[in-house]
Amino acid sequence: MNHRFGSPSRRVAALASAVASLALGAAPSLLLAATAPATTPAGPAATVAGYTFVKSVGGIQEYTLDSNGLTVLLVADHSAPVVTFQVTYRVGSRNEVTGTTGATHILEHLMFKGSENFNDPKGNSVKQFLEKVGGQFNASTAVDRTNYFATIGRESLEGYVAIEADRMRHLWLHEADRQSEMTVVRNEYERGKNDPDSVLVEEVTAAAYVALPYHHPTIGWRSDIEHVPIAKLHEFYDTFYWPNNATITVVGDIDAATTLGFIKKYYGSYPHSPQPIPVIYTEEPEQTGARRVVVKKPGELGTVLIAHKVPNGRDADQPALEMLDAILSSGKNARLYRALVDKGMALAAGAGTDLHRDLSLHSMYATLAPGASHEDVEAALLAELEKIKTKGVTPAEITRVKQQYIAADAYKRDGTAAVASEINEWIAVGDWTLYVTFPQKVQDVTPADVQRVARQYFSEDQSTTGWFVPVPAAEKGK
């Protein structure tokens, strides 16, 4: 089973693999989300006993299973006889505390070890079933959510629904499985620690967030990975894995009434969680001055990373921030490319926002070219941001990046799995309808909006700056 983490900001291309290995949490890929999905018009809502129809937005129908509060999203696409079925649990590393960091991710691994009615000894485990029917399946863990998904032929949908439902409440949680998966997760952790950019992102994020649980990496701290008791994982599972804390998304060649019937058949027997799902009420205190970190490890090229906290992923300023980042980093005509790469100061440079349910994190970065200094590259990054604050951006720049945004979306939303994945990330930040409405809001962004958000959010006192400084192996730790 090839588990994967969500990437924190798919727009920050040069650091994406490093951040993904840390699993600092997934954010919607906003540069790649501009037009409506290639889905069939939703049509009238299905009438199925036991469900309440909530709303229809952009061809996506939302229902609630009355018996337990399970949310269901249906997206019809009859272009091929395939279906993607996805369960998103609204739990991620933000729900962990000291001693259980990384629990969400370890539990994700254990979800593939079998459940009461579907397991290897019976020959019908999720892996055995999906290999038999030729399905593609996976799972991912991020800061605000965990999801499990498969793309299968439409004739195999009921079989997969049954398996996915069984492991919601009847998962096997055995100490022997925890031990074996702990070593797998520890290896992932160690690979991240061997990547200097991964370490830099981890340390900048930890410095930027003081109180919010985004402070710790999704993969967790090594000591917690190694020692978390199976009883703690069982407690975590029994706290968050309930129908009222989950959203099912079904995309593809489906009949709404039949699909809702399958979901009710296999999930309908589960009750609402016996206790309310715990709410995160911690707020990040105001930052009172610039913060800096330096990472020294063996390596070849230095990196500069400048981060600022910005509003949550649902905030009305996010479309303008998206256009700001596109102007800074989208293509060879972008400002950072011209100012740093074209001038030989950096091999790559970019900007992006890691969208969260709570405060998000905006980053600018540059990978230093040989001979360039950290001081000069940091100054050049800040100078480009300052130009936008003082002089603004042009209508031509806005038009260019909006066109790029729309074109990229056609690729990003190609196929049932891609559509489900993007919806999943908007569920994570707290509003799936942004999958439809955010692109529309982007098209309304003006040059004045971009200048306003640059001035509002990117002051030096609110920054956290990190340098990766390569050193020979013998100098590590000096």
pLDDT class of 408 with cuts at 50, 70, 90: confident
75 by DSSP, 3-state: which? strand
What's the pLDDT at 478?
A: 55
What's the pLDDT at 93?
A: 96
Q: What does the pLDDT look like over 54-102, one tens digit per residue?
A: 999 999 999 999 999 999 999 999 999 999 999 999 999 999 999 999 9
Closest CA to 111 of 52, 166, 64: 166
pLDDT at 474 over 50: yes
What's the pLDDT at 46?
A: 84
The percent of residues in the chain predicted with pLDDT above 70, rounded, is: 90
Q: Does residue 259 contact residue 63 with C-beta atoms inside 8 Å?
A: no
pLDDT class of 475 with cuts at 50, 70, 90: low
Domains of the chain are 4-267 (3.30.830.10), 291-475 (3.30.830.10)
The percent of residues in the chain predicted with pLDDT above 90, rounded, is: 86
What's the pLDDT at 148?
A: 98
Provide the 10 A C-beta neighbour count for residue 182. 17
pLDDT at 39 over 70: no
pLDDT class of 476 with cuts at 50, 70, 90: low
What's the pLDDT at 129?
A: 97
Q: What does the pLDDT look like over 336-386, one tens digit per residue?
A: 999 999 999 999 999 999 999 999 999 999 999 999 999 999 999 999 999
What's the pLDDT at 354?
A: 95
pLDDT class of 40 with cuts at 50, 70, 90: low
pLDDT at 435 over 70: yes
What's the pLDDT at 409?
A: 73
What's the pLDDT at 155?
A: 97
pLDDT at 5 over 60: no
Kindly report the average pLDDT of the chain as a whole number.
90
Q: What does the pLDDT look like over 190-231, one tens digit per residue?
A: 999 999 999 999 999 999 999 999 999 999 999 999 999 999
pLDDT at 28 over 50: no
- DSSP annotation of 370: T
Q: Say how far apart CA 61 and CA 57 lie, in whole Å.
A: 7
Q: Name the residue type at position 457.
A: Y
Over residues 269-279, the mean pLDDT reads 97
User: Which comes out higher in pLDDT, residue 306 or 472?
Assistant: 306
pTM > 0.85: yes
Closest CA to 234 of 170, 179, 189: 170
pLDDT at 274 over 60: yes
What's the pLDDT at 407?
A: 85
Q: Does residue 88 contact residue 428 with C-beta atoms inside 8 Å?
A: yes
Burial class (CB in 10 A: 0-12, 13-18, 19+), 476: exposed
